[in-house]
């Protein structure tokens, strides 16, 4: 039932995308004018900032005080140095959604902290039951209910530890400050921002390689709950045409009594360029072409390299056991799919899986090359 529901939702989204793709394109392009770029260069942020200022001034929108501080700011500056991607343009233009609520509370003489304390007490009761995830969400809701005037994401520069927690520091109208942690950390020696639950820094689904300004996906991300089907690619290409520009190739094969899918993508993903390789399967009785993401037992050792037409490796994701190995690089230029070469090496579980995959690769030698050594397959696209 869960898979059928997901498929139905996907179908409806595809239908909506088909009906409204023209207006969606116009809307997205008016906000992020990627189509105005030449030679893959990034948008002129000064021009975009003027457009945002004009809209905000016309609508009377207040900006929320949201920034990165401490060593998180150093990482943000490194990203800008590597890519010219101005994170401040986005976080500095977040609307202050709490402004009206604060005005109403002040007019009615409502204590801003009352609801926060109620949420906090509820969070402690929930935590006592062992549901830490719900407790964390309840505590976060409490912080938002108090209508903070500012939020600052930081890594404490004075902390001598190699691995330090990523924190969010809230300030409220009465001057009170509160510091919360997300279970995410910055490892300065490994140049990595990650989550202790292997679900991406701050739960977004991606870790950040701070040395190379590259986003990579850990294994237990939220996207894994939604499987995969062709409809997702349809949505990306038609609903978000100004944000995605990628090519993909699919290899279908039978193995272990299931219908298997090995899919490869390369191209531009919003503000990054990169590639991804995913492993999916579905039971043979499922007639709907909706695939589940590979389980932990079905994961393979894989590594991925993406090289541009000028010989630069923009992604080098090392060998690791995964179901969706990828790398999305923040670069100063965007690269078209045909300007990138993907090289992936994977170690199959046995000769049956290896032979099934090789059989499909052999049918696509017009666009892909491959080599086999034992259970190891290396393909280049």
Q: How many CA atoms lie within 13 A of 63 on its CB side?
A: 15
pLDDT at position 241? 61
Q: Where are the domains of the chain?
A: 41-187, 214-380
- Which has more confidence, 54 or 32? 54
Distance CA 125, CA 334 (A): 49
More confident residue, 217 or 42: 217
Cα separation, 356 vs 353, whole angstroms: 5
> Which of 47-51, 173-177, 249-253, 356-360 is the least confident region?
47-51
The CA distances from residue 69 to 83, 155, 212, 318, 344, in Å, are: 20, 7, 20, 30, 37
Where do runs of H (alpha helix) occur along the chain?
2-31, 45-59, 70-83, 87-91, 99-107, 112-128, 132-145, 230-238, 351-362
pTM of the model: 0.81
Would you place residue 14 in the very low, low, confident or very high pLDDT band (cuts 50, 70, 90)?
very low
Check residues 127 and 23 and name the one with the higher pLDDT. 127
Cα separation, 83 vs 89, in Å, equals: 14
Question: How do residues 285-337 score in pLDDT, each as one tens digit?
Answer: 999 999 999 999 999 999 999 999 999 999 999 999 999 999 999 988 889 99
Average pLDDT value for residue range 116-124: 91
Q: Which of 3-7, 97-101, 184-188, 241-245 has the lowest mean pLDDT?
A: 3-7
Q: Which of 324, 303, 319 is nearest to 232 (CA)?
A: 324
Cα 106 from Cα 112, distance rounded (Å): 8
**pLDDT higher than threshold 80 for residue 44:** no
Closest CA to 246 of 339, 364, 136: 339
Cα separation of the two ends of the chain? 37
248 DSSP β-pair partners: 265
pLDDT of 179-228, one tens digit each?
Answer: 988 889 999 999 999 998 899 988 889 999 999 999 999 999 999 999 99
pLDDT of 284: 95
């Amino acid at each position: 039932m869960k898979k059928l529901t997901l498929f139905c939702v996907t179908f409806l989204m595809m239908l909506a995308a088909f009906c409204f793709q023209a207006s969606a394109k116009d809307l997205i392009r008016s906000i992020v004018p990627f189509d105005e770029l030449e030679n893959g260069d990034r948008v002129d942020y000064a021009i975009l900032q003027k457009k945002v200022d004009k809209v905000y001034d016309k609508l009377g929108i207040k900006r929320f005080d949201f920034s990165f501080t401490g060593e998180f700011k150093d990482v943000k500056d490194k990203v800008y140095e590597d890519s010219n991607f101005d994170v401040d343009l986005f976080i500095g233009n977040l609307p202050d959604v709490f402004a009206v609520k604060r005005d109403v509370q002040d007019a009615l003489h409502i204590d801003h902290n009352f609801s926060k304390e109620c949420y906090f007490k509820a969070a402690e009761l929930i935590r006592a039951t062992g549901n830490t995830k719900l407790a964390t969400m309840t505590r976060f809701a409490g912080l938002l209910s108090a209508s903070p005037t500012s939020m600052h994401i930081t890594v404490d520069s004075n902390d001598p530890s190699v691995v330090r927690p990523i924190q969010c520091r809230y300030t409220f109208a009465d001057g009170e400050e509160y510091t919360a942690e997300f279970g995410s950390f910055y490892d300065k020696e490994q140049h990595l921002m990650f989550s202790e639950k292997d679900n991406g820094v701050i739960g977004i689904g991606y870790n950040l390689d701070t040395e190379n300004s590259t986003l990579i996906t850990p294994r237990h991300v939220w996207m894994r709950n939604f499987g995969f089907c062709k409809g997702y690619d349809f949505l990306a290409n038609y609903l978000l045409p100004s944000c995605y520009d990628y090519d993909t190739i699919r290899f279908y094969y039978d193995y272990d009594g299931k219908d298997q899918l090995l899919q490869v993508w390369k191209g531009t993903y919003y503000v990054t360029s990169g590639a991804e390789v995913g492993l999916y399967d579905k039971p043979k009785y499922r007639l709907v072409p909706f695939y589940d993401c590979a389980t932990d037992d079905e994961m393979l050792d894989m590594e991925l390299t993406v090289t541009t037409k000028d010989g630069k490796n923009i992604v080098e994701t090392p060998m690791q056991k995964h179901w969706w190995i990828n790398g999305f690089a923040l670069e100063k230029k965007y690269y078209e799919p045909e300007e990138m070469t993907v090289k992936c090496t994977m170690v199959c579980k046995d000769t049956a899986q290896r032979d099934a995959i090789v059989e499909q690769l052999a049918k696509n030698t017009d666009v892909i090359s491959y080599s086999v050594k034992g259970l190891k397959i290396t393909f280049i696209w």
